[in-house]
Amino acid sequence: MVEHFRAIAEATETPIIIYNVVPWTYLSPELLCRIFEEVPGVVGVKQSAGDLKLFADLMEKAPANRMIYSAVDALMYPSYMLGAHGSIAAILTAAPHASVTLWNAVKAGDHVEAKALHGKLLALWNAMAHDNLPACVKFAQRHQGINTGQPRAPMPVPNGVQRRAIIAALEPLTSE
């Protein structure tokens, strides 16, 4: 994997953020740190393993000049608490205002607000986390007045149960 990312970095001369996604191409914290050390063109990672221990290990071992982004929608709050430099995740698109407010609350040390937002965002994530997740995110956006169009075939639009759950989970996030 080191040589793979070295080849990409040399061929593109573009900063690289690795998408470390389970189960397809998961890289251990040790291997990621080795890549960081040996391939200057790799500037960060979108860490999607839902294991907070692995995330904590990566935060502790990664060079300070590399960016670690959380991609675990259900764990934004604890990821931020462990020092994530930000996030790249579906929940941010479905609830952008609440997601920014969560980030700001953590940075300000307001853990009462952060924990409350975490619970609300978790409810939304649980309502959207299905095989048709992109369609559910688009539905959440449309419900908030953002015209996103329909999901591309063959992905189905959210069914009635999914739509009602998403609307119910958005209510506490959008009524503030």
Q: Would you say 34 and 2 are in contact if contact means Cβ atoms under 8 Å apart?
A: yes
Cis peptide before 78 (omega within 30 of 0): no
- CA end-to-end span of the chain: 46
Q: Would you say 70 and 80 are in contact if contact means Cβ atoms under 8 Å apart?
A: yes
User: Is 46 among the catalytic positions?
Assistant: yes
33 contact partners, CB below 8 Å, separation of at least 6 = 58, 61, 62, 63
Q: Would you say 51 and 78 are in contact if contact means Cβ atoms under 8 Å apart?
A: no
Position 40: which residue type?
Answer: P
Catalytic residue among 46, 69, 80, 138: 46
In whole angstroms, give the CA distance from residue 155 to residue 150: 9
Position 139: which residue type?
Answer: F
Q: Which residues are catalytically annotated?
A: 19, 46
